[in-house]
Structure 1
C-alpha cells in the first residue's frame, strides 16, 4: 500500500554519489521526500536524530558500500527500527546467498543493477511473492557473461585499478584492456 503522495519519505543508502543524486532527483520528481546516507553509521545517526513519527516509510539500500560495510547491516538496522518500512536492496553483485540474507533481515525485494526508478517503485508496491516468476537455469548464462561479471567484480574490488585487476585475474594487462574496450565499464 502506497502512502499519500505528499508524505512519502524515502531513505537512499548509496555510497556512489552520482548514482545517489540521480535516484534522489528521480524520486523527488515522483513526489517523495528523500533522505540520503552513504554508510551504516550515517543510517544509525539519521534514525537517532529523527523521531519515531518521522521515520522513512521506504528505503533503497546498496548492498556493497565503499566504507567496507555491507548494506545488509543497514537493512537489519532499518528493519529493527521500523518493521513496517519497505526496504529494497540494490546490487551489482547479486547472489543467492545475499538475496536470501537480505530478505531474512527485512528487505521486501532484492534487485540487481541496473535497476531504474520504475523497477524500484514497483518493488515497493509488491508485497506478495510471484509464484509465476520464470525459473531460470544458471547454466544458461554464457561464459562471456560470467567472465564479464567476474571482471567487473574484481575491478570494483581494486577501485578500478586495471593493473591490479589483471594481476588478480591472472591475465595480461593488455588482454584485460581489450576486453574492457569491447564492453565498457558502467
Structure 2
C-alpha cells in the first residue's frame, strides 16, 4: 500500500503541482485547503507524511501540527511557508514539526527535508560564511516580537517603539534573503 501524503495549503496552483509530483513519486496524496479539512482527512486516514502551510484562511497551520502529531506520532511533518523567520521556525519545531522550509520549494527539496530528521545527530548543519544583513536581522526580530504578541500588530508596534503603520509597511514587504 502506498504511503499517504497530506498537503495542507490554501494556494491551489502550488497544491496542484505538489500533489501531482508526490503522486508521481508513488504517494497516495490528499490536499486540504484549511485546518478543519486537514483534520477531517487525517482522522479518516492518518497520513505518513504531511506538509503544512503556516498562513491560511482561518486558523494558522501551527495549530494543526500537534493535532496531526496526536493522530500519528510517527508521521514526518514539514512546515512550508512564504513567511519564513526564525521565530516561526522555532514555534513550528516546538509544536512538533520535523522540519521547516521557506517557499518556493519543489518536491525533491520537500522529500529531502522530510528525510533530514533521519540523519544522525552528530551531523552538523552548514554554517554560512557571511552573517545576516542588518535588514534581515531587523525582519527576524520583528517576526519574533510579532509571534510573542500572538500576531497583534498594535501590541507589537508598541513593544518595538514604532508606529503601527510603519510596522505594517515593514510586514507587507517580502523578507530580505540575507
C-alpha displacement of 1:69: 1.9
Could you tell me whether the CA contact under 8 Å between 1:88 and 1:109 is conserved in 2? Answer: yes
1:131, 1:101 → 2: CA distance?
23
Distance 1:137 1:92, change over 3 A: farther
Give the TM-score normalised by the residue count of structure 1.
Answer: 0.67
Match of 1:135 in 2: 127
1:37, 1:12 → 2: CA distance?
6
Match of 1:89 in 2: 79
Gaps of 5+ in 1: 1-5, 151-164, 171-178, 180-186
Aligned residues: 147
Gaps of 5+ in 2: 143-164, 174-178
The answer to whether 1:47 aligns with 2:42 is yes
Distance 1:140 1:100, change over 3 A: closer
The answer to whether 1:29 aligns with 2:19 is no
- 5 Å-filtered alignment, 1:34-183, equals 34-48=29-43, 50=44, 54-65=45-56, 67-126=57-116, 127-128=118-119, 131-136=123-128, 139-141=131-133, 143=135, 168-169=168-169
Distance 1:114 1:34, change over 3 A: same
After superposition, give the CA deviation of every residue in 1:128-147 in whole Å (9 maximum; x if it has no partner).
Answer: 35743223488533759x89
After superposition, give the CA deviation of every residue in 1:81-115 in whole Å (9 maximum; x if it has no partner).
Answer: 11111001101111112111211221111011121
The answer to whether 1:10 aligns with 2:8 is no
C-alpha displacement of 1:116: 0.8
Give the TM-score normalised by the residue count of structure 2.
Answer: 0.70
